[in-house]
Every structure is written in structure tokens, then in C-alpha cells.
Amino acid sequence: MKIKANGIEMNYELSGNENGEVVILSHSLGASLEMWAPQMECLEPGYRVLRYDLRGHGNTDAPSGAYTLEQLGDDAIALLDTLGIDTVHWVGLSIGGMIGQSVALNHPDRLKCVALCDTAAVVPEEAQPIWQERIDNALSKGMKSQVDMTMERWFTAPYLSTNSPAMKRIRDQFLATPVAGFVGCGEAIRRLNYLERLNEIKKPTLIMVGEEDLGTPVAASEAIHAQISNSKLVILPSAAHLSNVEQSELFNKELAAFLENC
């Protein structure tokens, strides 16, 4: 489904229990709403599940230029407004978790609770050259220049060796991401700096991270946990960045228990 919100055409899917509370799922950089396929069987019986493609991803418009996390948060709020949805349970992974922080800080009345998965609250100065290199390579060489190293960050070596259908879908989604969207969201990520404000978040918060996540390591989740008083930290074994795919059963178990108590 497509809808006009915040000045762009956004792609979304609304499924599950029509009488249930709404859970919104916000995906990672270089992915799409299809990233959440492993969570659908768990969530749809009890919840109305709203998945959407971020600005610059999937079938949502990909304007050129740098995006901001506040803008990406406003996209989500505009989507909710257009659909007539008041409050949601937010589940975000990677940049989706960064957008979740933006929404929790700037629109707290729209959230019942928030799950921040495999994410961070600040990008240190020493990481800026890494992001600049990724952006430059994407602009000059396309998404193919980023895909192999990204898959190595997103999944553990044993999981990569399985070459599973789920992993192939994730790889294909990454390659299909518009360069403008990758670059625009990359510029948003590199300016991430919410850590010192996170103590403002009072909503129940679940923090989940793969034990072997190199992109947003356990230490980044521990720093978030230390700042949010009403939070729980869960470290998922044998998982890297896309823990919702690699360890979907454990991820779903923890998420379902959290949402049930929100």
C-alpha cells in the first residue's frame, strides 16, 4: 500500500489482528519492510502490525540529499496520522532503533513502549571517516560496492555459510536500495547524538542486541540501558547485527514477552 505522508509517497503494509494494538516495525539501513518477515507469525495473531519502507528504501520515495533522524521520525508520525493511528508499540532495528529514539524523545505521547534493537545512541568522531568512505563508495560505485562487507557485519560467519533463503532476500533488498536512500540515511546516522538525552525516555524500553554485533556492539546497547531507567537489556547469543533474522526464535520470544507487559 502507498500513501502520501510528510511530502513523500510511503510504502507500508498493515496486517494482523484488526482489533489488536498497533506495533510499528522500522527496519535497518539498506533493507525494507520485508526484513520483518520472521516476526510476522509471532505478532500478527495478537497485534495490528504496521511495517513501512523508510524514506529512500524499498518502494518509498528516495529524495536526494541528506536526511535527518528527526525527519525520519516525522515521516513515521505523518504515516500514523494519515492512517488515523494514535499510539503504537515501536520496534526498530539499527537505524530503525535510532528513529525510535527520535520519536520517543520528540513525540513520547505517540508511544506505549519502545524496543531498540541492534542500535546505538551516538556515532563517535572516529567513526566519521568510515561513514564518509561508505557514502563515497556508494555514490561512485553503487550498492554492489557495499554488499559483501555489509553481509559480513550483519550475520555471523556460521550463518553466512548456510546461504539461507532469508539471507539471500536480505542481500537482494540491500542491492535494490536506491543509492540516494542509502546516502541520505547514512548522513542521518553519522549525526546520531541522542545518548545524553536518553534519560528523558520514560516509556517501557526493551534493548536487544546480538552478542556478535560489530556494527552496533553490545557496549552501545549497554550505554543506552544505563541511560533509560525503565529499560531491560537482552543479549542474544550467536547473532550479529540482524538478530531478528539470525536468531528469530529467541528475538520473537523476548519481544512477545515485552509487548505483553506493556
Note the pLDDT tens digit of each residue in 227-258. 999 999 999 999 999 999 999 999 999 999 99
pLDDT of residue 111: 98
Q: Supply the pLDDT for residue 109.
A: 98
Segments making up each domain of the chain, as ranges: 2-260
Q: What is the DSSP letter of 193?
A: B
Distance CA 163, CA 247 (A): 15
Per-residue pLDDT at 19: 97
- Mean local confidence (pLDDT), 202-207: 98
| pLDDT tens track for 117-165 | 999 999 999 999 999 999 999 999 999 999 999 999 999 999 999 999 9
| CATH classification number, 2-260, choose in 3.40.50.1820, 3.30.200.20, 3.40.1280.10, 3.30.70.100 | 3.40.50.1820
pLDDT class for 41, splitting at 50, 70, 90? very high
For residue 62, what is its C-alpha cell? 528516495
State pTM to two decimals. 0.98
Alpha-helical (H) ranges within the chain are: 37-43, 69-83, 95-106, 128-141, 144-154, 157-162, 165-176, 179-190, 218-227, 243-246, 248-260
